[in-house]
């Protein structure tokens, strides 16, 4: 898909209603209720390769649903995970920090929630043997946690995600490749973090690619926000779609 056509597609989807062809899905992990979103492409359906999509620090919102439907349009099944709990969609920054902070302090719970989302996707008939995890901001940090856990995924992708490696962790167990899409003007996640991750991935001999979009601040893909940068958004999305084609079989 050419850049101009992709930009038009992005603009169209931004104007769409909150939900596409998919459905909200209730599930439980360790006795707690969660609510994700599951969608499949019209033609290949459940046989399509899977993308596990992990939300930003405001929880699973219309934004992730739009992105999920964009991926379904491109031929992928998508399970958008819920890491905060059913109905927990914080709007105040202090609440967002609370919910993300709880998971940053309990990395095992974060891993359990990610694996629980995959288990739920599998129960819905998703092709979890051919899957990639991707996430935005906080979701990107969660995806890298999944990579370090040794999860059997084909790849791990972050859009302006948290890049730091917790003390005592490394990428020695990472099985899939890693794609990092980062803004050069990001004031929340520094280029020092970017460089440190590059060194960590190299040390562990992980197949990786790390791209910087000059002038793009943190959250450069978030429609309607002051930080949105269409050029970086379109280019990063195009690279993501190309990456998916390279690591996942056609549906």
User: Which range is least confidently modeled, 3-12, 89-98, 213-222, 226-235?
Assistant: 3-12
Looking at every residue in the chain, the average pLDDT score rounds to 92
pLDDT tier for residue 47 given thresholds of 50, 70 and 90: confident
Q: Do 101 and 139 form a contact (C-beta atoms < 8 A)?
A: no
Q: Give CA torsion, residues 2, 7, 11, 14, to 10 deg.
A: 90
Give a yes or no: residue 215 inside a domain: yes
User: Does residue 11 surpass a pLDDT of 70?
Assistant: no
pLDDT at position 45, please? Answer: 62
**Residue 146: DSSP 8-state:** H
Domain count, the chain: 1
DSSP output for 64-120: HHHHHHHHHHTT-EEEE--SS-TT----SHHHHHHHHHHHHH-HHHHHHHHHHHHHH
User: Which long-range contacts link 20-27 to residues 24+ away (Cβ below 8 Å)?
Assistant: 20/65, 20/66, 20/68, 20/69, 20/72, 21/69, 21/72, 22/65, 22/68, 22/69, 22/72, 22/78, 25/79, 25/120, 25/124, 26/86, 27/116, 27/117, 27/120
Q: Per-residue pLDDT tens for 188-231?
A: 999 999 999 999 999 999 999 999 999 999 999 999 999 999 99
At residue 8, the 3 state secondary structure works out as helix
pLDDT, tens only, 108-141: 999 999 999 999 999 999 999 999 999 999 999 9
Domain containing 147 equals: 3-246
Domain membership of residue 12 (yes or no) is yes
pLDDT-based confidence at residue 250 (cuts at 50, 70, 90): low
Could you tell me the CATH number of the domain that includes residue 72? 3.40.50.1820
pLDDT at 10 over 50: no
Pick from 56-65, 78-87, 116-125, 241-250: least confident: 241-250
Q: Is 82 inside any structural domain?
A: yes
Contacts of 92 (CB under 8 A, 6+ apart): none
How sure is the predictor about 46, in pLDDT bands with cuts at 50, 70 and 90?
Answer: low
Helix (H) or strand (E) holding 155: strand 155-159
Do the Cβ atoms of 85 and 40 come closer than 8 Å?
no
In-domain check, residue 251: no
The pairing of strands 23-29 and 32-39 is: antiparallel
Q: Is residue 25 part of a domain?
A: yes
7 assigned to some structural domain: yes
* Percent of the chain residues topping a pLDDT of 90: 88
């Amino acid at each position: 898909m050419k850049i101009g056509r992709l930009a038009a597609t992005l603009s169209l989807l931004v104007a769409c209603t909150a939900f596409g062809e998919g459905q909200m899905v209730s599930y439980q992990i360790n006795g707690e209720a969660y609510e994700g979103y599951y969608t499949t492409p019209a033609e290949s359906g459940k046989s399509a390769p899977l993308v596990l999509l992990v939300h930003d620090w405001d929880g699973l919102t219309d934004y992730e649903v739009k992105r999920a439907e964009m991926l379904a349009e491109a031929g992928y099944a998508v399970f958008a995970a819920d890491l905060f709990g059913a109905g927990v969609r914080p709007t105040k920054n202090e609440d967002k920090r609370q919910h993300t902070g709880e998971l940053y302090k309990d990395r095992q719970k974060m891993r359990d929630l990610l694996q629980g989302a995959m288990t739920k996707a599998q129960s819905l008939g998703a092709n979890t043997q051919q899957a990639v995890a991707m996430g935005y901001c906080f979701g990107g940090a969660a995806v890298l946690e999944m990579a370090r856990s040794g999860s059997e995924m084909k790849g791990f992708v972050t859009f302006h995600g948290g890049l730091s490696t917790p003390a005592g962790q490394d990428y020695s167990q990472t099985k899939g490749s890693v794609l990092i899409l980062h803004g050069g003007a990001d004031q929340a996640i520094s280029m020092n973090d970017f460089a440190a991750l590059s060194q960590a991935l190299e040390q562990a001999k992980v197949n990786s690619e790390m791209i910087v979009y000059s002038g793009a601040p943190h959250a450069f893909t978030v429609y309607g926000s002051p930080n949105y940068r269409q050029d970086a958004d379109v280019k990063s999305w195009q690279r993501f779609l190309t990456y998916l084609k390279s690591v996942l079989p056609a549906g």
